[in-house]
Amino acid sequence: MSTVCYTQEGAVGVVTVDRPKALNALNSEVLDELRRTFEAIDLETVRCVVVTGAGEKSFVAGADIGEMSSLTRAEGEAFGKKGNDLFRMIETFPIPVIAAVNGYALGGGCELALCCDIRICSENAQFGQPEVGLGITPGFGGTQRLVRAVGPGRAKEMIYTARSIKAEDALRAGLVNAVYPLAELMPAAMKLAGNIAKNAPIAVRACKKAINEGTQLDMDSAVALEEKLFGSCFETEDQREGMQAFLEKRKVEGFKNR
């Protein structure tokens, strides 16, 4: 692949958007390669994924404006669907995905970060939805996920004004969980991913499903979903080992994803 790199370190997969000449902007090729990269992740051995951008300046500076500039309505819709399908795939990916936002996260870049489970960023990060300044709406889920992440007031201000916010404001808004000096961002992301990866994979996956799907339901249906997923963890080897280790006052011998 020429625009996306993938590496695996232990149980953590690292997906890097690598198109530095355009500040990692998302053209069709990047969207296709991201999809193929996620499809190829080995879910037997990988337990958490980190998504980041190549270089020190930009996570993803948006959808590719050059490519979008001449689209017809039908092509614009198709481009939006390509991005939306991919971002939904990442959002519902069976294992947690962390966005390590290392610079500009604008438009489609902010939307890519928003479809991840957890966002952390570097001090030079900037988040924004500049689309209305380009004559379009956010098209990869920004009008939906930003609202859910920071609430309607802040999301509307960001979207209507097209102004970006800096890392500390993103932290205050709850858009990111933590801010690090740039050099410390990837080590922090890997540490966070490692802390997730060492827990029982079946249980972690069930938590992601419960949280993602439960927040779309009324409370009665949501707790019923939680009960089902809770029940599904029992009789697994990992549940037995996790509880046995506690009762025997020893460390877990390593969860097996069984």
- Contact set with ligand DAK (CB under 6 A): 22-23, 25, 61-66, 76, 79-80, 83, 104, 106-108, 130-131, 134, 136, 138-140
CB 11 within 8 A of CB 48: yes
Nearer to ligand DAK, 144 or 239 (CB): 144
Between 18 and 64, name the residue whose CB sits nearer to ligand DAK: 64
For ligand DAK, the closer of residues 24 and 37 by Cβ is: 24
Q: 9 catalytic, yes or no? A: no
Nearer Cβ to ligand DAK, position 105 or 192? 105
Q: How far is the CB of 97 from ligand DAK (least distance, A)?
A: 19
* CB 167, CB 124: distance < 8 Å: yes
Active-site hit among 75, 111, 227, 235? 111
In order of 102, 137, 200, the CA distances from 119 in angstroms are 11, 23, 22
Check: CB of residue 108 under 8 Å from CB of residue 83: yes
Cβ 116 to ligand DAK, closest distance in Å? 16
How many C-alpha atoms does 6 have within 13 Å on its Cβ side? 15
b/e per residue 190-218 (b: at least 16 CB within 10 A): bebbeebbbbbbbbbbbbbbbeeebeeee
- Known catalytic residue: 44? no
Using CA atoms, how far apart are residues 34 and 30, in angstroms rounded to an integer? 6
User: Hey, is 36 helix, strand or coil?
Assistant: helix
CB of 130 to ligand DAK, least distance (A): 4
Q: Among the options 29, 77, 131, 226, which is catalytic?
A: 131
CB of 51 to ligand DAK, least distance (A): 16
Judge contact between 100 and 51, C-beta under 8 A.
yes
The set of catalytic residues is 111, 131
